[in-house]
Amino acid sequence: MKITFYGHASLGIEVGGKHIIVDPFITGNPQASAIDINTLKADYILLTHAHSDHVLDVETIAKNTNATIVSNAEITSYYAKKGLNAHPMNHGGSWKFDFGKVKYVNAIHSSSFPDGTYGGNPGGFVIEGEHKNIYIAGDTALTMDMKLIPLRTKLDLAIFPIGNNFTMDVEDAIIASDFIECDKILGYHFDTFGYIEINHEEAIRKFFDQGKDLMLLEIGESIEL
């Protein structure tokens, strides 16, 4: 499993021979100007919620690639009405795709499209595939529901928002890593704009002091599990 950071909360995942894009907000992010969305491969687009900084490039990528959009029922209905491929899910439900199993789990946040359309309840994804399991938390506060995840899935990596103000901060993310019983964390949703700027060295040190590994990738950088 290969995971590439495209800036903010945008990710590319290669697993089981398939390409997945998560929450594509690339053309609106000056820090990601080196990423050309027209060259991205996508069989699936996973969306945690409907805010513009997570869905800005969905339609362009979906039209370019014929990808299937996976999200809650309200978000997938919104895009299906535009003629795009969509697979609806809701909290607690899971589905076996051709790259692995995906479960849609709870997140504490808000969700509406830029045009004001209701975006349903926000969520995260647990992906089990290719002998590696990951949790993409989406935009969320620390929540006790995270304790449910390791009851079903042993995680190899969790991807957490750590920018504070709109989501968890570093301290809450450390607690969240205890809840999910996973000490290997990839941070995202930080530094894109002033509200969520963080001190990288301090964040990494705080995780290290708790015996945990926080990875902060450069835009375009990848890791392999």
pLDDT of the residue at 63: 98
Nearest to 71 by CA among 94, 91, 88: 88
pLDDT by residue, tens only, the chain of 225 residues: 999 999 999 999 999 999 999 999 999 999 999 999 999 999 999 999 999 999 999 999 999 999 999 999 999 999 999 999 999 999 999 999 999 999 999 999 999 999 999 999 999 999 999 889 999 999 999 999 999 999 999 999 999 999 999 999 999 999 999 999 999 999 999 999 999 999 999 999 999 999 999 999 999 999 999
pLDDT of the residue at 79: 98
E strand or H helix at 222: strand 222-224
The edge-to-edge listing of strands for the beta sheet with 2-5 is: 86-89, 68-72, 44-46, 18-22, 11-15, 2-5, 222-224
pLDDT of the residue at 145: 98
